[in-house]
Amino acid sequence: MLTQLISRVRRNHGLEHATIHVLSEKHKNFSAQGNSNHKGFSLNIYGEISDEAVADAVEEAFGRMKKGEHSLAVHPNCGTVLLTTATLAALAAQATFAFEQRRQKQSHMNLSVLLNALPTAVLAVAFSLIISRPIGVQLQAKYTVEGDLQEMELHSIRPVQPSPVTRLFQLLLTGGNQMNAKSYRITTVN
């Protein structure tokens, strides 16, 4: 039961990413954000894309994945990649400061430790930013998305009222620009 539930979430997450890939192939100057569960996914679009274009993209993504384009499930801007990046950067900085604290035989962090470790910490974080993207993409492909939709079928694609969280993402993703925000709920059945 739990395995099937996780599999549905992963397949819906993959379809969410595939939809964003298809939209990106056909439209420019927009941002998208979504989240998936076992019943489907929510998709927030920030920009001038019609309801019909969104529905067409979902259907095209679904069809392409069903025909074997499983790689559409992986997206470089997925939260899995962002979380991997943040985690590795934080660990790199923390490890650098802890190493310098130990090297100076200090029982607590002080200005000397911070100043001596800062250049190395910056390099460690930069290195972690470089390696985290491919690691995050691999983690995403292995654990958080599935490109094979199996018996899954599209049930509905409908516009919904943007939530307050969607409005917050509108500010964050568009840099405060007044890009149009639209939300959709895509449901699937197995």
d(CA 104, CA 106): 5
Amino acid letter, 8 = R
pLDDT of residue 21: 98
Residue range 2-75+145-189, CATH number: 3.30.980
Confidence of residue 145 (pLDDT cuts 50, 70, 90): very high
Listed by start position, the domains of the chain span 2-75+145-189, 79-144
Contact 23, 49 (CB under 8 A): yes
Q: How confident is the model at residue 94 (pLDDT cuts 50, 70, 90)?
A: very high
Q: pLDDT (tens digit, 9 = 90+) per residue, 99-111?
A: 999 999 988 889 9
CA distance 25 to 59: 14
Could you tell me which residues are beta bridge partners of residue 35? 42
What's the pLDDT at 181? 86
pLDDT in tens, 59-92: 999 999 999 999 999 999 999 999 999 999 999 9
| pLDDT tens digits for range 15-61 | 999 999 999 999 998 989 999 999 999 999 988 999 999 999 999 99
Report the DSSP beta bridge partners of residue 154.
188
Q: Give the burial class of 50: count Cβ atoms within 10 A of its Cβ; 0-12 exposed, 13-18 middle, 19 or more buried.
A: exposed
Q: What is the pTM of this model?
A: 0.89
pLDDT at 31: 87
Q: How would DSSP label each residue in 35-93? A: EEETTEEEEEEESS--HHHHHHHHHHHHHHHHTT-GGGG--TT-HHHHHHHHHHHHHHH
Cβ contact 12:41 at 8 Å: yes
